[in-house]
Chains A and B, each alone.
Chain A
Amino acid sequence: MAKDLTQELKFRDPAKARALSEAMQRNLDAIGREVSVMHVCGSHEQAIARFGLRAVLPPQLKLIMGPGCPVCVTDGPEVDEAVALAVGGAHVCTYGDMLRLPGTARSLADAQADGGKVHVVYSVAQAVEVATAHPAEQVVFMASGFETTAVATAAVALGPLPPNFSILSVHKYVPAAMEVVSRSKESNIEGFIAAGHAAIITGYALFEPFAARTGAPVVVAGFEPLDILAAIVKLTDLIRERRPEVFNAYPRCVSRDGNLPAQKVLWKVFEPRPGKWRGIAEVPDGNLDLRPEFAHLDARRRLSVDTAGVRDEAAAGLERECICGPIMMGLASPHDCPLFGKACVPEAPVGACMVSSEGTCRIWHTYGGAPDLRRVEGRAAGQG
Chain B
Amino acid sequence: MEKDGLKPGQKIGLKHGSGGRAMRQLIEEVFLELASPVDGIGLGALDDGAALRVGDQWLVITTDSHVVHPIFFPGGDIGRISVSGTVNDLAMMGATEPMALTCAVILEEGFSRPDLERIRDSLKATALEAGAPFVTGDTKVMGRGEVDGIVLNTTGVALTRRVVSDAGLRAGDLLIVTGQVGDHGMAIMARRHDLGLSGDLRSDVAPINGLIRAALAAGGDDVVAMKDPTRGGVSGSLHEMAAKGKVGIVLEEQRVPVRDEVRAACDMLGIDPLLVANEGKAVIGVRAASAEKVLAALRAHPLGRDAAIFAHAIAERPGSVILDTGLGRRLLTEPEGELLPRIC
Chain A residues in the interface with B (C-beta under 8 A): 1, 3, 12, 14, 17, 42-43, 46, 49-56, 69-71, 87, 95-97, 99-100, 106, 109-110, 113-114, 120-122, 126, 145, 149, 225, 309-310, 347-348, 357, 366-367, 371, 373-374, 376-383
Chain B, 158-178, CB within 8 A of any chain A CB: 172, 174
Asked if B1 and A87 sit within 8 Å, CB to CB, the answer is yes
Task: Out of B8, B260, B322, B329, name the residue touching A110 (CB < 8 Å).
Answer: B8
Contact A367/B331 with A376-B250, A377-B250 known, Cβ cut-off 8 Å: yes
Asked if B174 and A380 sit within 8 Å, CB to CB, the answer is yes
Task: Out of B14, B260, B328, B337, name the residue touching A53 (CB < 8 Å).
Answer: B328
Task: Out of A3, A14, A49, name the residue touching B330 (CB < 8 Å).
Answer: A49
* B312 contacts the other chain (CB 8 A): yes
Asked if B326 and A14 sit within 8 Å, CB to CB, the answer is yes
Chain B, 216-272, CB within 8 A of any chain A CB: 248, 250, 252, 260, 269-270, 272
Distance of A53 Cα from B329 Cα, bound (Å): 7
* B344 contacts the other chain (CB 8 A): yes
Distance of A366 Cα from B330 Cα, bound (Å): 12
Q: Which residues of B contact A377 (CB under 8 A)?
A: 250, 314
Q: Closest B-chain residue to A112, C-beta based?
A: B14
Task: Out of B13, B317, B341, name the residue touching A376 (CB < 8 Å).
Answer: B317
Distance of A348 Cα from B8 Cα, bound (Å): 11
15 pairs, A vs B, C-beta closer than 8 Å:
A1-B260, A12-B327, A17-B328, A50-B325, A50-B330, A52-B323, A53-B328, A56-B328, A95-B341, A100-B337, A113-B11, A120-B340, A122-B343, A376-B250, A380-B174
Asked if B344 and A120 sit within 8 Å, CB to CB, the answer is no
B245 to chain A, nearest CB (A): 16
* B193 contacts the other chain (CB 8 A): yes
Contact A122/B322 with A56-B328, A97-B342, A113-B11 known, Cβ cut-off 8 Å: no
Q: Which residues of B contact A17 (CB under 8 A)?
A: 327-328
Asked if B343 and A55 sit within 8 Å, CB to CB, the answer is no
Distance of A366 Cα from B326 Cα, bound (Å): 23
Chain B residues in the interface with A (C-beta under 8 A): 1-3, 8-9, 11, 13-14, 172, 174, 193-196, 248, 250, 252, 260, 269-270, 272, 288, 291, 309, 312, 314, 316-317, 322-331, 333, 337, 340-344
Asked if A378 and B193 sit within 8 Å, CB to CB, the answer is no
Q: Closest B-chain residue to A53, C-beta based?
A: B328
Asked if A120 and B328 sit within 8 Å, CB to CB, the answer is no
Identify which of B270, B309, B314, B325 gathers the most chain A CB atoms within 10 Å of its CB: B325
B336 to chain A, nearest CB (A): 8
Asked if B195 and A122 sit within 8 Å, CB to CB, the answer is yes
Q: Which residues of B contact A126 (CB under 8 A)?
A: 194, 196
Task: Out of B3, B250, B325, name the residue touching A114 (CB < 8 Å).
Answer: B3
Instruction: List 7 additional A-B contacts (Cβ < 8 Å) besides A52-B323, A54-B328, A383-B174.
Output: A50-B272, A95-B341, A96-B340, A96-B342, A114-B3, A380-B250, A380-B312
Asked if B328 and A51 sit within 8 Å, CB to CB, the answer is yes
Contact A113/B1 with A56-B327, A100-B337, A371-B331 known, Cβ cut-off 8 Å: no
Asked if A382 and B195 sit within 8 Å, CB to CB, the answer is no
Asked if A71 and B324 sit within 8 Å, CB to CB, the answer is no
Q: Which residues of A contact B340 (CB under 8 A)?
A: 96-97, 99, 120
Distance of A10 Cα from B212 Cα, bound (Å): 38
Asked if A145 and B327 sit within 8 Å, CB to CB, the answer is no
Task: Out of A97, A122, A366, A374, name the residue touching B344 (CB < 8 Å).
Answer: A97
Distance of A13 Cα from B301 Cα, bound (Å): 34
